[in-house]
Amino acid sequence: MATKITINPNGPIRVEGDFTICDPAGKEFGLAGRTVISLCRCGASQNKPFCDGGHRGAGFASTCEARELPPPAPKA
């Protein structure tokens, strides 16, 4: 299944499909077979990088509408 990423209004980033999540050293998080997870984007989660619902009490507010990105800058 292709990976789908959804930016939820006032909430987390939802990741669905076939994916891995790694720390900066490249070590994979154990996802226990999950094919759907939510990543924190408010900074209030006690279970980072995963969402624990902390955005609700933190008053986090952010919406993102889909748009076209400009072309990447040329590499030097």
Q: What is the pLDDT along the chain (76 residues), one digit of tens a residue?
A: 799 999 999 999 999 999 999 999 999 999 999 999 999 999 999 999 999 999 999 999 999 999 999 999 999 8
Tokens of 63: 């919406």
What's the pLDDT at 56?
93
Q: Note down the domain range covering 36.
A: 1-65
The pLDDT assigned to 1 comes to 78
CATH number for the domain that contains residue 52: 3.40.5.90
Supply the pTM of this predicted model.
Answer: 0.88
Give the count of domains, the chain. Answer: 1
Query: What pLDDT, on the 0 to 100 scale, is given for residue 76?
Result: 83
Q: What is the pLDDT of residue 27?
A: 98
Nearest CA to 10 out of 47, 54, 75 is that of 54
Helix or strand run (H / E) with residue 55: helix 54-58
